[in-house]
């Protein structure tokens, strides 16, 4: 056990310490656990604080007024305390790993030690009590200091239980810029095929996190070298990659798709959200518009400055500064000094698809500064156009 109580502990855990004390006052044990402990020792920011306790879910609910049943079956209750949410999980061990997936069945246990044993990596298997004392049964602190990702107990067994842990190793390597310890890495190479048993949704959660972290380039390189990617849709086609730290997930996926010649159909196997697919399709369209030499003003008007800038940036079409400086006389159709009714009246034809075409013509001409955005000018423009429609 290691004394870790200091000012930093008080600052970082602040009111969360009160929760541990409430458990203790009710004769239960409770500890901070997992990511927050790891990040606290590393002096990194953390967003969520997870708590582990020997109190059963029903008992947690009687102690605290404001709770949410997050995953009662797995022993997880969310507590709301002084403006923050905390996930509290009863000490547990996992049973019946079938098909190399995280199990449905868990068994509540009475010791912290047992709970920490089920956790994936040594650096994620530490706990802190209300006084800031560290509980580290698997040398997590030493691995943190040496920047090493190592499974708790035999990597071979741990990856057989839940194959997702293999991907999580790369994810944490990306987040922390740590090395995956040799035995752990070799076990990934050996068991890589088991990743097939894990649902694509869980895989994508880890892949997304991997791409968004600082060490993404290195971690993705290692993931590819291990050949675990060969068993994951889309990822199996990745050969080219870059540093994606400043990319959104959709941007990274578009980049990977384009530079590795991956079909949209393959991307869809990742079961992304509609919004993510929409964004990726939009990037495809912008690239096509650049290929067609569509004027920048029109593209920025149609697709928005940020998304055009992204395409300009990755294809090095021009300086992105230039995109910032492009002036648009209008931002949308409602800013044009003419109404659809006026257009119909001037052209004097039965309403039809031509209205859309004429409106677009007005729009484009204003954007390209061939036409001033004022009612009289636009009417003159329409009168000249009248005979050609
Ligand atoms: P982050 O801050 O990036 O979310 P984290 O450590 O909180 O990192 P989570 O995925 O939120 O990571 O998981 C919380 C904790 O639960 C981990 O620290 C680990 O102790 C445990 N854990 C999560 N997934 C697994 C798994 N598949 N197998 C074993 N333990 C796991
Ligand atoms: Mg977390």
Distance 2 CA to ligand 1 centre (A): 22
Question: Which ligand is located closest to the Cα atom of residue 209?
Answer: 1
Is 164 a pocket residue for ligand 1 (Cβ < 6 Å)? yes
Residue 259 belongs to a domain:
no
**What angle is formed at CA 103 by the lines to CA 77 and CA 71, rounded to 5 degrees?**
15
Q: Are residues 124 and 22 in the same domain?
A: yes
In this structure, the answer to whether residues 116 and 12 fall within a common structural domain is: yes
Count of domains in the chain? Answer: 4
311 and 376, same domain (yes or no)? no
pLDDT tens digit at each of 389 positions of the chain? 444 557 888 888 989 999 999 999 999 999 999 999 999 999 999 889 999 999 999 999 999 999 999 988 888 999 999 999 999 999 998 876 678 877 667 888 889 999 999 999 999 999 999 999 999 999 999 999 999 999 999 999 999 999 999 999 999 999 999 999 999 999 999 999 999 999 999 999 999 999 999 999 999 999 999 999 999 999 999 999 999 999 999 999 999 999 999 999 999 999 999 999 999 999 999 999 999 999 999 999 999 999 999 999 999 999 888 899 999 999 999 999 999 899 999 988 888 899 999 999 999 999 999 999 999 999 999 998 887 77
**What is the CA(168)–ligand 1 centre distance, in A?**
9
CA of residue 196 to ligand 1 center, whole Å? 20
Cα-to-chain-centroid distance, residue 188: 23
Rounded to two decimals, what is the model's pTM? 0.92
63 and 180 both lie in a single domain: no
Instruction: Give yes or no for residue 29 CB within 6 A of ligand 1.
Output: no
Q: Please state whether 100 falls in left (phi above 0), alpha (psi between -120 and 50) or beta.
A: left
Distance 38 CA to ligand 1 centre (A): 11
Question: Per the domain annotation, does 265 fall within a domain?
Answer: no
Minimum CA distance residue for ligand 1 atom 27: 165
- Domain with 363 in it: what CATH number? 1.10.246
Judge if 134 and 177 occupy the same domain.
no
Mutate to test the pocket of ligand 1, among 35, 44, 71, 113 (most ligand atoms within 8 A of CB): 35
CA-atom Rg of the chain in angstroms: 28
User: What range defines the domain where residue 97 resides?
Assistant: 1-139
């Amino acid at each position: 056990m290691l004394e870790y109580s200091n000012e930093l502990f008080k600052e970082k855990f602040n009111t969360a310490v009160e929760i541990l004390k409430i458990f203790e006052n009710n004769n239960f044990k409770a500890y901070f656990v997992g990511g927050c402990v790891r990040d606290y020792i590393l002096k990194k920011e953390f967003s969520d604080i997870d708590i582990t306790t020997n109190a059963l879910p029903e008992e947690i609910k009687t102690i605290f007024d404001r709770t949410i049943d997050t995953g009662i079956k797995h022993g997880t209750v969310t507590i709301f305390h002084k403006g923050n949410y905390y996930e509290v999980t009863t000490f547990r061990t996992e049973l019946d790993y079938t098909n190399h997936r995280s199990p449905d069945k868990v068994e509540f246990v009475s010791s912290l030690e047992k709970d920490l044993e089920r956790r994936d990596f040594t650096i994620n298997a530490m706990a802190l009590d209300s006084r800031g004392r560290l509980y580290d049964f698997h040398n997590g602190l030493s691995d943190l200091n040496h920047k090493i990702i190592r499974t708790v107990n035999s990597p071979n067994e741990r990856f057989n239980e839940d194959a997702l842990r293999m991907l999580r190793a790369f994810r944490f390597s990306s987040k922390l810029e740590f090395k995956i310890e040799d035995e752990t890495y070799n076990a990934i190479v050996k068991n890589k095929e088991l990743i097939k048993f894990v649902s694509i949704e869980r895989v994508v959660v880890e892949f997304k996190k991997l791409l968004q972290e600082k060490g993404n380039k290195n971690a993705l390189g290692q993931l590819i070298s291990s050949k675990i990617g060969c068993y994951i849709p889309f990822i199996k086609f990745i050969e080219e990659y870059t540093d994606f730290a400043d990319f959104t997930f959709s941007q990274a996926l578009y980049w990977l798709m384009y530079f590795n010649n991956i079909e949209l159909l393959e991307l869809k196997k990742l079961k992304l959200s509609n919004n993510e697919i929409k964004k990726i399709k939009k990037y495809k369209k912008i690239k096509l518009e650049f290929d067609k030499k569509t004027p920048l003003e029109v593209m920025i008007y149609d697709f928005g400055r940020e998304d055009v800038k992204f395409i300009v940036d990755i294809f090095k079409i021009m300086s992105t500064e230039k995109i910032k400086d492009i002036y648009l006389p209008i931002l949308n159709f409602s800013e044009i000094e003419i109404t659809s009714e006026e257009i119909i009246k001037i052209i004097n034809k039965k309403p039809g698809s031509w209205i859309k075409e004429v409106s677009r013509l007005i729009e484009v001409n204003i954007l390209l500064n061939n036409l001033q955005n004022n009612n009289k000018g636009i009417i003159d423009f329409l009168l000249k156009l009248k005979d050609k429609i």
